[in-house]
Amino acid sequence: MENKLHQARSRFIAEWGALGSAWGINRSMASIHARLLVAPDPMTADELMDDLELSRGNTSTNLRELVAWGLVRQVAVKGERRQFFLAEKEPWRIFVTIVRERLRRELDPALETLEDVAAMSEGLEGREAEEFHRVVTGMAGFIRTVRGLARRLVGSESSTLAGLARVLS
């Protein structure tokens, strides 16, 4: 039984780690998050290092980043002086946190750049300049729409798909 649990947990951690790059974080950070997600109790950095075979620096850096994202929090354990970490386990909150961070780190800067470039090309004459302006303005409009939908989605308090349905309707 313990061996099957270890195999299942290892596979989950490996897959979650691979998924990390899709949501803008590195494999180690995603692996730490995955391990904390499935831990029945808060874990120390040392436990995570040993379990995931990570260096102290890597573990420490990625724990700080997970805390900054809001996916993990430090908790006090009575009678212990060490720091313990606990992951947010509610799927909707995890999803909202990741989307919010992706907006802040990726879409907001991309939109700002597109709007700046569109403003720079406003009124330029010639076929190439006009096409450039048209494409950049269209991309900015698309990103603005996606950002608006994502913000409505993360603003939803619902942990059900009803929240998604409201955003899409």
Beta strand pairing call for 84-87 and 43-44: antiparallel
pLDDT in tens, the chain (169 residues): 778 998 999 999 999 988 887 777 889 999 999 999 999 999 999 999 999 999 999 999 999 999 999 999 999 989 989 999 999 999 888 888 888 888 888 899 999 999 999 999 999 999 999 999 999 999 999 999 999 988 888 877 665 555 555 556 6
Domain extents in the chain: 2-87, 91-168
CATH number (1.10.10.10, 3.30.43.10, 1.20.1260.10, 3.30.56.10) of 2-87 reads: 1.10.10.10
At 157, the amino acid letter reads: E
Question: Angle at which helices 56-69 and 27-38 pack, to 10 degrees?
Answer: 70
Q: How far apart are the C-alpha atoms of 155 and 30, rounded to whole Å?
A: 24
**Residue 132 structure tokens:** 């450039």
DSSP-based three-state secondary structure for 8: helix
Q: pTM for the full model?
A: 0.76
